[in-house]
A and B are shown apart, each in its own frame.
Chain A
């Protein structure tokens, strides 16, 4: 198998999909903007996102404060931009964790099967049978509301999806010809699993990941709405929307709308990317 032709083929295919699908192209551009905001945001913003100025509280958007100021006089624009890093970090680390845990569990269950598979399946069923958001709430409430615990809670509720996906992919392929061939060539089970079977599960996982990234951000926002989110005064979109939602009726719409739009932008990006990635990796849906 020649790596170069394989990858150039993939690239040309990606190029083909992107050309044929402007929405996917757009989503990649949006993703780039998010990454830039996350990396450079704190350096670019005009104000300290944490500095309050009580005399200047609840000012509508203006030239000095593009997105207005909040109830403590903090600059909403600076807070929205700075929050990008934390929000991306929460969702990416949560999804990565669940991806890893799910992959290992799913691969083991799918490859060896038997009682291991049965036990794992029931455990995953149990987690899925929980109302997921309430499970996340419970975990954060029990462990305390820190960023790490929000990440863990989000990871736990996402794990079953990956575990099932990987299990199914591995299960289909464990009797495949190339697996037998690899085994006959003297590879150990773990090596076969990791190097030969597992990579096949990656493409659908990428799709799932991208969709989950958006979901993870929404989940963190929901936790904030209940009051179990990130600690103040840290800027985070969910908590800003949640707190700002109380100000909408009194006319201070900018408190919730701008972080809400940022949140929507990020989730939108991940969802569109997920869709686009699906087109790339799933030939059946290729148009």
Chain B
């Protein structure tokens, strides 16, 4: 076995305790929530006997450790349980909602990168200049606004007052039928189906929420780009390149920028998982049928299975993403290995 493969396997092994930890904390957290799902589940006007019956069918009359074992057993069989609030299996809910959140988050990040990276590079090439300060103030202002507030203001201006934006009704205006499900990403699915009309419609729905989220993520990306560029520009190899007579532009983009990308990618990974968890509020404002709004609703009504399912899905994503970044790192930069100690 090559050391690199061993490194990767070791890295995967490291992720296992995290997943176990998430399962345990998720279980404890949901049981600590106030409220009695049996009462909620029994519905209006239920009497004590029917509540007790339901408690029994839900398995909530058992001692907690036993409930936990049952839960883990179900998980191992791939059964995430049934959500009370939507009445669907949690796994089906997650499968239909996760792509919505991912699509929104990815588009927002793309948009954010398209603005933040050039800004960061510009700021780094002229540190201390007016551009540098302006860029700093701009991105900081973006991260200083609560996302739900930005969202409502954008809806008010662009939809309500100006009428430019489409109605904030989720992923697709009702006159369009969602594209055949291949990936669950409407943009990709409609493009694959060659349906330009639906593609544009889905894109238009994405604009406002994506801007809202992008504003919020400009700052970390721009800052990291600036810092990494500054670092790279002052590094020895750039000085050498300059001394060798290469022009400013070539040095900046070919040498410095490429080297600055690595820390930016790491930041992106962090920002991505953070944003995916934090777009809860944006989803609520834009009626976005994503995983975040699902979790909030579930949490408020003590929907155990749904909260646990959400937490687990997010944790898996987080772990997988970090693994991916780490592995990509070793592939890009052979100097970085895993300490298999």
**Residues on A close to B: CB < 8 A?**
20-23, 122-123, 125-126, 128-135, 137-139, 141-144, 214, 218, 221-222, 225-227, 238, 241-242, 245, 248-249, 253, 256, 260, 263-265, 267-268, 271-272, 275, 284-285, 287
- With both chains docked as a complex, state the minimum distance between the C-beta of A227 and any C-beta of chain B, in angstroms: 7
Looking at chain A's contact residues, the main secondary structure is helix
B136 touches A132 (CB 8 A): no
B156 touches A134 (CB 8 A): no
A275 touches B223 (CB 8 A): yes
A134 to B140 alpha-carbon distance, docked (Å)? 24
Other-chain contact of B128, A21, A126, A241 (Cβ < 8 Å)? A21
CB-nearest residue of chain B relative to A126? B21
A287 touches B143 (CB 8 A): no
A142 touches B143 (CB 8 A): no
What residues on B are CB-neighbors of A221 within 8 Å? 146
- With both chains docked as a complex, state the minimum distance between the C-beta of A263 and any C-beta of chain B, in angstroms: 6
B141 touches A142 (CB 8 A): no
A130 touches B22 (CB 8 A): yes
What residues on A are CB-neighbors of B230 within 8 Å? 284-285
Residue B201 CB within 8 A of the other chain:
no
Other-chain contact of B33, A20, A123, A133, A138 (Cβ < 8 Å)? A138
Residues 130-162 of B, flagged 1 when their CB comes within 8 A of A and 0 if not, give: 000100110011011111110011011000100
Residue B295 CB within 8 A of the other chain:
yes
CB-nearest residue of chain A relative to B26? A130
CB-nearest residue of chain B relative to A20? B128
**Sample of 17 more A-B contacts, CB < 8 Å, known A139-B29, A142-B32, A287-B128:** A21-B133, A22-B133, A23-B137, A122-B18, A128-B318, A131-B311, A134-B280, A134-B296, A134-B311, A138-B307, A142-B29, A214-B144, A222-B278, A226-B300, A249-B155, A249-B160, A285-B230
**Residues on B close to A: CB < 8 A?**
14, 17-19, 21-22, 25, 29-30, 32-34, 127-128, 133, 136-137, 140-141, 143-149, 152-153, 155-156, 160, 219, 223, 227, 230-231, 234, 274, 276-278, 280-281, 284-285, 292, 295-296, 299-300, 307, 310-311, 314-315, 318-319
A129 touches B318 (CB 8 A): yes
A253 to B278 alpha-carbon distance, docked (Å)? 25
What residues on A are CB-neighbors of B160 within 8 Å? 249
B149 touches A130 (CB 8 A): no
